[in-house]
């Protein structure tokens, strides 16, 4: 009878454990390799930034093939009350467009900081936009025309027209088929005034993010809900809507303590519902989620019109996504942005 020594038994047991471990690792490796191509593509796509300036040519080709949408944030360096950053216009539009790009696809351009506005000469000074606009309204006797601190953005309409038109020309040349331009009120209105001629010149579709779409493609109920509940994107000036959006996207940069708590004293050059009474991060989140759902539907329908179904675009992959999925994507993108 052959009896194994304790040392041999220990050695055999160690060999068995090693074989079991190798077998387990093989199974795990096999599971990883068997992941579907679609899941691998989705993971790869998630790792690609949406910001134009961060893309390599390879990443650019991937994103534009998936969804040829360019997002152009129309910003300023402009007074937004004592409580908001001077770059609020571009910051709001840029952040919302990043949410859209993560949901629908596409690429977000750097924000512009030049824009048109009303201009008034007062002696040797030139006043722009909010420097004097509220003083023109009947009953707005609390504001006298003055140069507001920090505003440095104004260009004539003709120059702004050239900047936007040449941007659209270059984006069309790069392969984009849809352009979403939104932000500073006068800048957005300029786009609305000229979208049709630019579409015809450069064979693109142009959108803004205001609820009443320039093509009238939105339903009346959506537009009325947005107006009634303050769920637009940049529909006032440093008041409830813009302050709420900034509270949602950039809570650490909103300084409500820098405006008087006395609601009998109206904040300088603020236009809209009183931000001290009506603004909140929750209101901003509601506006983002409402408009994100609306714009996602609009852009996916546009993609379906211009791209073959066989390309596997974001439009065909996600046309049936729910409101909750859209909101979760926006929240995740915001969390990644704000850290």
| pLDDT at residue 45, as a whole number | 54
Q: How far apart are CA 107 and CA 263, in angstroms?
A: 42
Radius of gyration of the chain (CA): 26
What's the CATH number of domain 49-116+151-233+285-338, 3.40.50, 2.40.50, 1.10.8, 3.30.70?
3.40.50
Tell me the domain boundaries of the chain.
49-116+151-233+285-338
Tens of pLDDT, residues 104-120: 999 999 999 999 999 99
The interaxial angle of helices 88-104 and 240-249, nearest 10 deg, is 60
Q: State the DSSP string of 151-204.
A: ---B--HHHHHHHHHHHHHHHHHHT--EEEEEESHHHHHHHHHHHHHHHHHHT-
- 135 pLDDT band, cuts 50/70/90, is confident
At residue 96, φ and ψ (nearest 5 deg) are -65, -40
Sheet holding 178-183, edge to edge: 107-108, 69-74, 178-183, 205-207
* 3 pLDDT more than 70: no
**Segment 210-237 mean pLDDT:** 82
Q: What is the model's pTM? A: 0.80
Query: DSSP character for 62?
Result: H
Please write the tens of the pLDDT for every residue from 69-90. 999 999 999 999 999 999 999 9
Query: For residues 338 and 91, what is the distance between their CA atoms, to the nearest angstrom?
Result: 12
pLDDT band (50, 70, 90) for residue 324: very low
């Amino acid at each position: 009878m052959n009896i194994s020594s304790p040392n041999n038994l220990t050695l055999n047991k160690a060999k068995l454990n090693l074989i079991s471990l190798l077998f387990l690792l093989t199974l795990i490796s096999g599971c990883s390799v068997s992941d579907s191509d679609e899941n691998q593509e989705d993971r790869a796509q998630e790792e690609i930034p949406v910001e134009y300036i961060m893309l390599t040519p390879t990443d650019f080709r991937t994103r534009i093939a998936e969804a040829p949408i360019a997002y152009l944030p129309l910003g300023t360096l402009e007074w937004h009350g004592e409580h908001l950053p001077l770059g609020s216009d571009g910051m709001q539009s840029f952040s919302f467009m990043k949410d859209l790009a993560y949901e629908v696809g596409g690429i977000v351009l750097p924000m512009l900081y030049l824009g048109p506005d009303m201009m008034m000469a007062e002696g040797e000074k030139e006043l722009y936009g909010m420097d004097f606009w509220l003083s023109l309204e009947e009953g707005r006797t609390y504001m006298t025309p003055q140069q507001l601190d920090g505003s440095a953005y104004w260009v004539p309409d003709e120059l702004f027209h050239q900047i936007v038109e040449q941007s659209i020309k270059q984006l069309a040349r790069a392969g984009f088929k849809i352009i979403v331009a939104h932000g500073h009120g006068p800048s957005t209105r300029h786009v609305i005034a000229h979208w049709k001629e630019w579409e015809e010149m450069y064979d693109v579709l142009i959108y803004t993010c205001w609820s009443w779409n320039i093509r009238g493609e939105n339903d009346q109920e959506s537009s009325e809900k947005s107006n009634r509940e303050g769920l637009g994107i940049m529909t006032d000036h440093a008041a409830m809507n813009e302050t709420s959006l900034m509270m949602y996207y950039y809570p650490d940069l909103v300084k409500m303590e820098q405006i008087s708590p006395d609601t009998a004293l109206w904040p300088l050059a603020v236009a809209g519902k009183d931000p001290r009474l009506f603004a909140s991060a929750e209101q901003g989140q509601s506006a983002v989620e409402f408009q994100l759902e609306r714009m996602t539907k609009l852009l996916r329908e546009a993609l379906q019109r211009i791209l073959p179904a066989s390309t596997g675009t974001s439009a065909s992959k996600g046309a049936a996504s729910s409101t909750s999925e859209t909101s979760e994507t926006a929240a995740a993108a915001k969390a990644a942005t704000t850290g």
